[in-house]
Amino acid sequence: MAVETTKLPDGLRVVTDAMEGLETASLGVFVAAGSRDESAAEQGLSHLLEHMAFKGTARRDARAIAEAIESAGGDLNAATSVESTAYYARVLREDSGLALDVLADILIESLFDPLELKREKDVILQEIAALQDTPDDLVFDLFNAAAFPGQPIGRAILGTAESVRGFDRGSIRAYLNRHYVAQNIVIAAAGAVDHAKICDEAAEKFGKLPNGAPKKPAPAHYVGGEIKVSKRLEQTQVIVGFEGLAYADPQTYAAHIFANAVGGGMASILFQEVREKRGLAYSISSFHWSYLDAGLFGFEAATGGRDVRELVKVSLDALAEAAHSLSASDMARAKAQTKVGLLTALESSSARAEQIARQIMIFDRVLPRQEMIDRIDGLNLAQVRAAGASLLRTPPTVAILGAVARAPGALDISARLAGV
């Protein structure tokens, strides 16, 4: 593999990884702007913009956009997250120029036709309504809102029905002018790619991007708290979490390992204690999410309403025990799982393009594989335990959706973990 990076004169960054043995290329335009970059009136605008990018440009209508890539055997898609928006394509080696042409077209020349805008707003309103019928997704929105109350980072990516109805071409253009500037965008390509060719094509096709200093989002301030929503469901959805660590925090790797050890897979501590020994849930897992300046750690499960309190109690006891006496074998398993997750991206051109783009946006460089492996292998048991204990000492966040009468609150959790 051969990673190369170039910053073009306008500030646009290009990063590629030529992967031997592949005949296809994955290319993406990654914008360092997502839901946390929106104002209160713009909730959901990043996501709407992602939808509208495929609805017609000065050169192509919606069908022509799809046909341009699919007629060459490729595929085209996009995704919105809290801190970025991605537009990407996968094509044959010889069609990388076509992919970049289409990506530049939809990002720079979209028309945002009023009829298409109304139609797509209706689609997103249906998407928001569907979320209300998907409790295992909805509970995560509740959790984020409780962890970061009143902050952009805690808002739902889809926005609200009210905010989406209020969007017009003017609001879209204002958001684009603020965030879709050359200095805020990374073009990443992996697979059968030639770096010099990608740079030349990027300079030509993305030359119309406006310049401007990237706008930084409002700093995130973890607060914690609780949200309990009573709803008639067969199972009650439960998330209990704590303040996590940002990407660049020196203890982030240790926090990831602790999260994998306690809730990563069927051999994990939580799965064994909650499901295998007590049958309190069909599944349970933990997570550690990092952001630019914040993070979240926690576990999620679904159970019968009468078992919520017991599930939380057993889970908290297991976490507290792990923070003091995590075994060497559990740490070794977690390290292996983490390394597999990192290295899997090196075997898929699309995953690799996303990985190197994300690293450029976060660290302004691509992290060498060996550096990441060394960071994981260099952790000892005391460091991982200490990271876990530190996470559990932060104010808890609780999100419960379903039967909430017996559900514990944030004060109950703090009391349970008082000795950590």
Catalytic residues: 50
79 vs 214: CA distance, rounded Å: 20
| Phi, then psi, of 27 in degrees rounded to 5 | -130, 145
| Phi, then psi, of 228 in degrees rounded to 5 | -120, 125
DSSP conformation class of 220: P
One-character DSSP codes across 281-338: -S-EEEEEEE-SS-EEEEEEEEE-GGGHHHHHHHHHHHHHHHHHH--HHHHHHHHHHH
- Please enumerate in sequence order all residues whose Cβ is within 8 A of that of 59, keeping only pairs 6 or more positions apart, or say none: 105, 109
Q: In this structure, what token pair is assigned to residue 205?
A: 């096709």
CA distance from start to end of the chain = 44
Closest CA to 353 of 170, 139, 191: 191
149 vs 81: CA distance, rounded Å: 18
DSSP conformation class of 218: P
One-character DSSP codes across 130-191: HHHT-HHHHHHHHHHHHHSTTSGGGS-TT--HHHHHT--HHHHHHHHHHH--GGGEEEEEEE
* Count of other CB atoms within 10 angstroms of residue 194: 16
Residue type, 226: E
* Count of other CB atoms within 10 angstroms of residue 21: 6
Contact 45, 171 (CB under 8 A): yes
293 vs 164: CA distance, rounded Å: 27
Contact 362, 248 (CB under 8 A): yes
